[in-house]
């Protein structure tokens, strides 16, 4: 089988997670290309802190190349049009072959990215069962004064979503800080933040994956 090329449009959380998961699951003969209009990634969950002066813009910005696995190619260009029928993406740098569109929403970025990557890898490699997105998502809700709430649960549950919302506290605020350090940190800092988030998730019964 000849190698395939997977294009991922947008270098946000969902795009980065998808690109890294695809690179982990596909052999080296397949290309994984992440497209974004700029090389600087901005950690959007921290933009509220920039607005109130708790962060400087450069503190929540990171070179996109430092967030992806070796073997993920990055192209900086402006996407101008997507033609699903022709499977082409028109950009300011020229036309690129495209596959299937990836829906995204911030609260689902991690879970959707992992599921989509697995499904595409299974289709390309011709093995495994089709992964399904379970509808689990999470987000922080800033309430001010160094406190935050945290919503986590099954957003697609029937007949109604099951998303408990604990009272706002400093603990959830610090959880968001750890999440920021996980995404923007390097080396030991990132590893420690990831470990603390995983341990905290198990203790508190929070669904999610990193």
Structural domains in the chain, CATH included, are 5-125 (3.50.50.60), 136-204 (no CATH)
- pLDDT-based confidence at 180, cuts 50/70/90? very high
Identify the pLDDT of residue 103: 45
The model's pTM is 0.75
Number of alpha carbons in the 13 Å side-chain half-sphere of residue 121: 20
Q: How far apart, in Å, are the Cα atoms of 112 and each of 92, 106, 119, 189?
A: 28, 10, 11, 26
Position 70 pLDDT exceeds 90: yes
Distant-in-sequence contacts of 201-208, Cβ < 8 A, 24+ apart: 206/138, 206/150, 206/152, 207/136, 207/138, 207/152, 207/153, 208/110, 208/111, 208/136, 208/138, 208/152
How is residue 162 annotated by DSSP?
Answer: B
């Amino acid at each position: 089988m000849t190698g395939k090329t997977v294009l991922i449009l947008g270098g946000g959380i969902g795009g980065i997670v998808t690109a890294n998961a695809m690179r982990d699951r596909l052999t080296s003969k397949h290309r994984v290309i992440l497209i974004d209009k700029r090389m600087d990634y901005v950690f959007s969950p921290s933009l509220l802190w920039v607005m109130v002066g708790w962060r400087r813009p450069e503190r929540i910005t990171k070179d996109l190349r430092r967030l992806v696995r070796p073997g993920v190619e990055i192209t900086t260009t402006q996407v101008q049009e997507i033609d699903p029928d022709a499977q082409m993406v028109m950009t300011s740098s020229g036309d690129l072959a495209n596959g299937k569109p990836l829906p995204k929403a911030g609260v689902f970025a991690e879970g959707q990215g992992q599921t989509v990557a697995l499904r595409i890898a299974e289709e390309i490699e011709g093995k495994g069962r089709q992964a399904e997105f379970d509808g689990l998502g999470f987000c922080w809700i800033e309430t001010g004064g160094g406190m935050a709430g945290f919503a986590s649960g099954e957003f697609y549950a029937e007949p109604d979503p099951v998303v408990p919302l604990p009272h706002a506290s400093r603990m959830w605020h610090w959880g968001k800080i750890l999440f920021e350090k996980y995404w923007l940190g390097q080396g030991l800092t990132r590893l420690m933040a990831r470990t603390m988030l995983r341990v905290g998730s198990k203790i508190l019964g929070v669904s999610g994956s990193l």
